[in-house]
Every structure is written in structure tokens, then in C-alpha cells.
Amino acid sequence: MMSQTINPSVRGAPALSPSAGALAMGALALYGVFFALAPALARAFPFEAAFYEGQKPAILTEPQVDQALNFYCAVIGGVMAGWFATLALLMRDPRRAVWNAALGGAAIWFAIDSLGSILTGYWQNAVINAGFGAVIVGILLASRPVD
């Protein structure tokens, strides 16, 4: 039997069922697939809009640069799809330790990705990460079982 989830207002009443949390992670996995299969569109929003205020520098329209960026997006999209699909499958496990491991992984991703973004001059990506991180952590915390 699946354990109940944490809800700070009513102990024992689930804030989000694990199956709903898994469904939300599955939707994020589909975003990764979109990112991989439609990289030019995925790059346009939110990244190019955030980084260049919609005015893409001419260098990014060079065929080799554009092709390389599409390749990177395809790889990143595949990683995202795999990570979120894995989280969705793990959320079927009623043990709190599984959720805690997923939260730890999310924290590591956020710290490294955001720090790397800031150090390379793309602080805007850290802001985007904060939004994604809030969604991921919110889903995990809202559906985390109580031991």
C-alpha cells in the first residue's frame, strides 16, 4: 500500500497523489522530447527570448553555429526526457528514501547547472532553472510519502 503524502495543513491528506506527481513528471519528460525534436523552436523560447530579448545575434544564424546549437538542444532534450521519465517511474515506489534521492539529484542539477550558467555569463539560465527547479521540487515535496 502506498504511504500517505505530506501536506502541512492536514496531516495524512495528500497534497498531491504520487500518481499525479508521476503524471506531472511525465509531462516534463514530454517537454524534453519537444526540446530534442524541435530544437529551433525550443531555443526561441525561453532561451533566446531571455538571453537576447528576442534579437538573436547574427552569429547564431550562421549555419554551422545554428546546427551545433540544435545538436546541443537535441542532446539536452534527450537527457531531460530520460531524467523526468526516470523520476516518473521512481515515484511509483512508496519509500520516502526514493523521493529524498530525487530531491538530492534535483539540488545537484540546480547547483551545477546554475553556477555553470552564471560563470559563463548566462545568468538568465539560472533564473530559468529556478522556475524549473521550483516545479520539480514542488512536485516531489507535495507527493513525498510519509514514513
Domain chopping of the chain, boundaries: 18-143
CA quadruple 42, 48, 136, 13: dihedral, nearest 10: -90
**Those residues with Cβ within 8 angstroms of residue 110's Cβ, 6 or more apart along the chain or in another chain:** 129, 130, 133
Cell numbers of 144, please? Answer: 513525498
Please say whether the beta carbons of 73 and 36 come within 8 A: yes
In terms of pLDDT, which residue wins out, 53 or 13?
A: 53
With a cut of 90, say whether residue 44 has pLDDT above it: no
Taking the model in full, what pTM does it have? 0.80
Rounded percentage of the chain residues whose pLDDT exceeds 90 = 60
